[in-house]
């Protein structure tokens, strides 16, 4: 009861308790020393003491304690509101001040703890990102340095190695350019500079174009690119056609790169009221559960050695995620080792 009382009630309870205690102590003392006192000799002083204590305690609570608590409460309360929402938080809680303060401070403390945890996580992510960037760029730089030094030390005149080394220099340079370009794309997507240019187009026809584009890579591993069903009716969506093409190319390339030889990659479409669900699934090597939550992070690789040897910047899925989120849509992945993986994302249907 006390924690939800106003200063008057608190002062009343405390004063009554002190007065009863003082009266009881006086009566016990008189009994011990054999003094005979009337009830009025105990009650009247106790009432006077109660009134004095009540006035003093109430004044002290209102002046020194509650004003301080209200100041803290108002400060925390106002920090949680925008300027348009700011108002006196005690206007409707005069009789419930301590409970309001307790609830408000608890919520504020929980929010601050969550912010601290988020900041720690972001700091860890930042350190990992910087380390990954350094590592991804260091490898081609060292390769270029080694090939160039060999050429300068006489290899340039050796017909057996000069052309081969120059090709390797070019390959590593291209990889660095790819990493830098992909980082720039992600930066522009995150900052909102690269906003989607929304147009109506047939995503089914776009998928056929991507199939044709990637057919040579698929044939090299004898992987079939197929649709999940016979789609004879166009699937019109409202999205950025070039960016969605980039999404499909990236997902299909990954399915080819990590797919089984003589396997298949399937693209399916499902109407979901206002959105179209697009699934890219394969029967490849699959991904273990502990990797799924981090799969869309920049430079995150499930198999680092194998992934780097296969080329790429390590930013493809991060770009895919940012593109889909820029469309205010979602992308998900489910996978099982030895069974395959399925990447699914949604796009707005255009009627």
pLDDT (tens digit per residue) in 137-148: 788 888 888 888
| CA–CA dist 50, 14 (Å, integer) | 9
Provide mean pLDDT across the span 74-103: 54
The span from the CA of 62 to the CA of 116, in Å, is: 35
Q: For residue 131, what are its two tokens?
A: 């380390």
State mean pLDDT over 66-80: 61
Strongest mean pLDDT among 154-158, 259-263, 280-284, 306-310: 280-284
* Residue 242: pLDDT over 80: yes
199-349 belongs to which CATH class?
alpha beta
How many CA atoms within 13 Å lie on the side-chain side of 346? Answer: 12
Of the listed ranges 46-60, 165-179, 222-236, the one predicted with least confidence: 46-60
Q: What is the pTM of this model?
A: 0.60
CATH number of the domain located at residue range(s) 124-191 in this protein: 1.10.287.130
Task: Count other Cβ atoms within 10 Å, centred on residue 82.
Answer: 7
Residue % of the chain over a pLDDT of 70 = 68
Q: Is it the case that residue 311 has pLDDT exceeding 70?
A: no
Contact 250, 319 (CB under 8 A): yes
* CATH 1.10.287.130 domain position(s) in the chain: 124-191
Over the Cα atoms of the chain, what is R_g? Answer: 36
Return the residue matching tokens 């959105």. 275
- Residue 157's CB is within 10 A of a number of other CB atoms, namely 8
CATH 3.30.565.10 spans which residues of the chain? Answer: 199-349
Residue with the bigger pLDDT between 326 and 301: it is 326
Predicted pLDDT of residue 68: 62
pLDDT in tens, 24-66: 666 666 666 555 656 556 667 667 777 777 777 777 766 666 6
């Amino acid at each position: 009861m006390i924690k939800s009382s106003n200063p008057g009630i608190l002062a009343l309870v405390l004063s009554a308790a002190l007065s009863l205690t003082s009266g009881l102590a006086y009566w016990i003392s008189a009994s011990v020393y054999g003094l005979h006192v009337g009830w009025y000799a105990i009650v009247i002083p106790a009432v006077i003491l109660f009134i004095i204590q009540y006035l003093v305690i109430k004044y002290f609570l209102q002046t020194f304690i509650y004003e301080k608590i209200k100041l803290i409460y108002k400060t925390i309360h106002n920090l949680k509101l925008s300027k348009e929402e700011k108002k006196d938080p005690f206007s409707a809680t005069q009789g419930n001040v301590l409970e309001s303060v307790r609830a408000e401070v608890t919520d504020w403390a929980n929010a601050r703890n969550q912010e601290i945890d988020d900041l720690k996580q972001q700091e860890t992510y930042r350190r990992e990102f910087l380390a990954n960037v350094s590592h991804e760029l260091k490898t081609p730089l060292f390769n270029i340095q080694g090939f160039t030094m060999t050429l300068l030390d006489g290899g340039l005149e050796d017909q057996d190695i000069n052309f081969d080394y120059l090709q390797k220099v070019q390959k590593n340079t291209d990889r660095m350019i790819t990493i830098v370009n992909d980082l720039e794309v992600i930066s522009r997507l995150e900052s909102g500079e690269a906003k989607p240019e929304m147009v109506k187009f047939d995503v089914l026809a776009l998928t056929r174009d991507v199939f044709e584009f990637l057919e040579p890579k698929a044939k090299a591993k004898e992987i079939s690119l197929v649709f999940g069903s016979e789609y004879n009716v166009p699937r019109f969506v409202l999205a950025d056609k070039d960016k969605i093409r980039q999404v499909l190319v990236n997902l299909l390339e990954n399915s080819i790169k990590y797919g089984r030889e003589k396997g298949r990659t399937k693209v399916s479409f499902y109407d979901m009221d206002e959105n179209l669900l697009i699934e890219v699934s394969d029967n490849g090597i699959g991904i273990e559960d502990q990797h799924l939550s981090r799969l869309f992070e920049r430079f995150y690789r499930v198999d680092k050695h194998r992934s780097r040897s296969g080329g790429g910047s390590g930013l493809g899925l991060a770009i895919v995620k940012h593109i889909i989120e820029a469309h205010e849509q979602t992308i998900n992945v489910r996978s099982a080792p030895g069974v395959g993986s399925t990447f699914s994302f949604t796009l707005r249907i255009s009627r």
